[in-house]
Each structure stands twice: as structure tokens, then as C-alpha cells.
Amino acid sequence: MLPWRATDGGRPDPYHVWLSEIMLQQTVVATVIPYFGRFIERYPTVADLAAAPDDDVLGLWAGLGYYARARNLIACARAVVAAGGFPATIDGLRALPGIGAYTAAAIGAIAFDLPVVPIDGNVERVAARIGAVTTALPAGKAEIARVAAWLGEHAAARAAPGDFAQALFDLGASLCAPRSPSCLVCPWRGDCAGHAAGIAATLPRKAARAPRPVRFGTVFLLRDADGAIGLRRRPPKGLLGGMMELPGTVWEAAMPDAPPPMRAAWRDAGVVVHVFTHFELRLRVMAAEVAALPEGLVAAAVDAPLPSLMRKAVSMGLGGLD
DNA sequence: AAGTCGGGGCA
DNA sequence: TGCCCAGACTT
């Protein structure tokens, strides 16, 4: 049972629904579950979250990715508290930071039973197959939306929009899987034009993606006499915005020159390969032990909250010391 | 419409 | 190795 779902009979908590939907943006359920539990434990209500220091929230989000979500999460929580609660309309939800068309519909349907069909990747796939939409995405989006709206006219959807939406998610995550859908046992098989045409598994069609370029860089792991490591904070916006990182070079198509932050007995600890959405990064990790950290670096524990890329780099840099 | 923005799991 | 995931936001 998913921890953000309402127990039988009760209405789901809008705070839980909202938090889970933000975390679930482009993120699989299994990854979200432990983060959701830690957030609810530390911030039992949206007011607790709104009152928390930014760094605490970013730290608890570290590793989950798409850090703009965490920044918008804070802003949204404070807006909700200032307004006295979550808005119960699509327009009101859509106006909040971090809530787009999908998330507004999801919260509206699940938390407030508004008669809408949230279109995420799962529903997009289910609708494209049921309607046999062969127009490739993103051009086929409007056509898919019409099929989804038609699904929303179903009696089950009208009776319980929230349950219907979550049932569509479950269908897309199980039977109507991306690669090999289980059409023979699907409850929609008789109404699925994609299955009737024998093309269900090929839908939805998508435009070809551009190849992923490679960038190179170097980071420097310094450990002082107390065992602390030297970190700095990234700019508030952009990639890994607002998160802590190891000091290092810019990341470029060719390995940039790497002047270390101070004189030390540097050793090459290896290369971390990390794949982002639109480029691949090969990050060389240089490590050294020094008496004291240089100016501009913050002393942090080796297990300080970090993005996964930086966690991998720290792990690699420390590993060579033993 | 296209680009930016993480991370992990799976065939 | 490529694709996918309960997408939002900027340009």
C-alpha cells in the first residue's frame, strides 16, 4: 500500500497528496517511498514544512534529483500556509509554484475528487493505446488529451475521480507497461483500438532524441586534520541549484585545466561517470589530506547531504585513502 | 516547440 | 546502452 494513499473510507490528506505528487514527478514510486516517509516524519504538517529552514529541506531532498522541485516545495508550502490551506480548485492549485497541469489535476482528483483526468506518462500511454493515437509526441498530445477526457466520462470516473485516476496509474504501471503490455488480461482490452490494430505495444510514438554529449571536469576532495571535507554551495538556480558540492573545474566538452584549490599531495582517485538528462559527465576526483581547509570552503561531515553525483565523488575520493 | 533539469532501474 | 519514470519551467 502506498503510504500517501488514504486508508479505506477516509479522505486523503491534501498535504500528503501534494508532497507525494511533487516527489513523483519523473521519479519512480520505489525511489519516492523512503523520502516521503522521512519528510512526513520531520514535517508532519505543511505548516511544519513551511517553517523549516531552506537548508534543512534541501538536505532532506538531497539525492532525489530535480532540485528545483525542492525549492518550489518550500515556496509552495509557505504560500499554502499563508492562504490558510490548499486550494480546492484546479486553477488555484495550478497557480502554486511547482504545480503544473498534471500535478494540479492529480491533486484535484485525488484530494478533492474534482472531475478531471491527470495525464502523466502512464495515462498518456494508456490513452494513446486505447485511442490508437499514432501521431508522435509531443504533437500527439492534444489527441491523447481528448482520449483521456473521454475516459473521464466513464461511470467509474464520474463516481470517484480520485480512485479512477489512481487506477489508471496502476494500470499503466502494471498491465499497460511500456514494452510488453499484458493485453490479454487487460480490463480495457475490448475497448482498446490500439490492441485491435495490433499496435498497442508500439504506442505512444515519440520523436527521436538528440544524442547525449559528454562533458569533462575535475573535483577536489580535501580532508582536514579533523576528518572533515571541504564543500562549497552551488548557485541557487540551474543544475543542482542550491546544493553543496566538491570544489572543482567547470564541466566542458574537453577536460579543462585543473588548478587545485591549494598546494597539497594530490592523488588521482579515479573518474566518476554520471548521466544527466541532457549530457554525460566524466568527473575526475583528486584527493588530498591537509592540516586546514583553504578559505572559501565549508567544513562538512563526510556523510553530509549531497546530490548523488557528489556523493559518488566523495565515496571514490575517500575510498583511495584506506 | 525545444531546451533545461537527477537519478535509478530494467530489458 | 537506451528508455522510462504520478513533469515543471524557461526561452
pLDDT tens digit string along A120-170? 999 999 999 999 999 999 999 999 999 999 999 999 999 999 999 999 999
| Domain shared by A96 and A130, yes or no | no
- Strand C, nucleotides < 7 Å from a protein CB: these are 2-9
Give the residue-averaged pLDDT of A65-69.
98
**A64 beta carbon to strand B: under 7 Å:** yes
Residue where a domain terminates, one of A114, A132, A156 = A114
* Each residue's pLDDT tens digit, A223-280: 999 999 999 999 999 999 999 999 999 999 999 887 899 999 999 999 999 999 999 9
Domain interval for residue A172: 118-208
| Domain shared by A262 and A278, yes or no | yes
| Domain shared by A4 and A76, yes or no | yes
| Domain shared by A104 and A64, yes or no | yes
Q: What is the per-residue pLDDT for A192? A: 97
Q: What are the residues whose beta carbons fall under 8 Å from the beta carbon of A292, sequence distance 6 or more?
A: A224, A225
Q: How confident is the model at residue A208 (pLDDT cuts 50, 70, 90)?
A: confident
Residue where a domain terminates, one of A114, A140, A167 = A114
| DSSP code at position A123 | H
Higher pLDDT, A173 or A322: A173
Q: What is the per-residue pLDDT for A299? A: 98
| Domain shared by A96 and A188, yes or no | no
With distances taken from each CA to the C1' atom of nucleotide B5, the closest residue turns out to be A66
**A102 beta carbon to strand B: under 7 Å:** no
**Of all nucleotides in the shown strands, which has a C1' nearest the CA of A120?**
C6
Total number of domains in chain A:
3
* Each residue's pLDDT tens digit, A10-34: 889 999 999 999 999 999 999 999 9
| Domain shared by A218 and A307, yes or no | yes
| Domain shared by A11 and A86, yes or no | yes
| Relative orientation angle of helices A14-23 and A101-112, to the nearest 10 degrees | 150
> Regarding beta strands A267-275 and A280-289, do their DSSP bridges make them parallel or antiparallel, or are they unpaired?
antiparallel
Count of alpha carbons within 13 angstroms of residue A252, beta-carbon side? 8
The C1' atom of B1 and the CA atom of A138 lie apart, in whole Å, by 9
| Domain shared by A158 and A60, yes or no | no
Strands (E), A155-306: 214-223, 229-233, 244-245, 267-275, 280-289, 298-300
| Domain shared by A48 and A129, yes or no | no
| Domain shared by A204 and A164, yes or no | yes
| Domain shared by A99 and A6, yes or no | yes
**Of all nucleotides in the shown strands, which has a C1' nearest the CA of A102?**
C7
Residue A321, pLDDT > 50, answer: no
| Domain shared by A83 and A138, yes or no | no
Q: What is the CATH number of the domain that holds A303?
A: 3.90.79.10
Q: What is the per-residue pLDDT for A44? A: 98
- From A2-6, A175-179, A231-235, the region with the lowest mean pLDDT: A2-6
> Regarding beta strands A229-233 and A244-245, do their DSSP bridges make them parallel or antiparallel, or are they unpaired?
antiparallel
Give the CA radius of gyration of chain A: 23
**Of all nucleotides in the shown strands, which has a C1' nearest the CA of A94?**
C8
Q: What is the per-residue pLDDT for A136? A: 94
Q: What is the per-residue pLDDT for A103? A: 98
Averaged pLDDT of chain A: 95
Residue where a domain terminates, one of A208, A243, A263 = A208
Instruction: In whole angstroms, give the CA distance from residue A220 to residue A231.
Output: 9
**A201 beta carbon to strand C: under 7 Å:** no
Higher pLDDT, A319 or A132: A132
Instruction: In whole angstroms, give the CA distance from residue A220 to residue A218.
Output: 7
Residue A253's DSSP bridge partners are none
Residue A45, pLDDT > 60, answer: yes
Four-residue CA torsion sign, A160, A164, A165, A169: positive
Q: What is the CATH number of the domain that holds A190?
A: 1.10.1670.10
Q: What is the per-residue pLDDT for A322? A: 38
Q: What is the per-residue pLDDT for A134? A: 96
Give the residue-averaged pLDDT of A61-74.
98
Torsion of CA A27, A33, A35, A39, to 10 degrees: 120
Residue A7, pLDDT > 90, answer: no
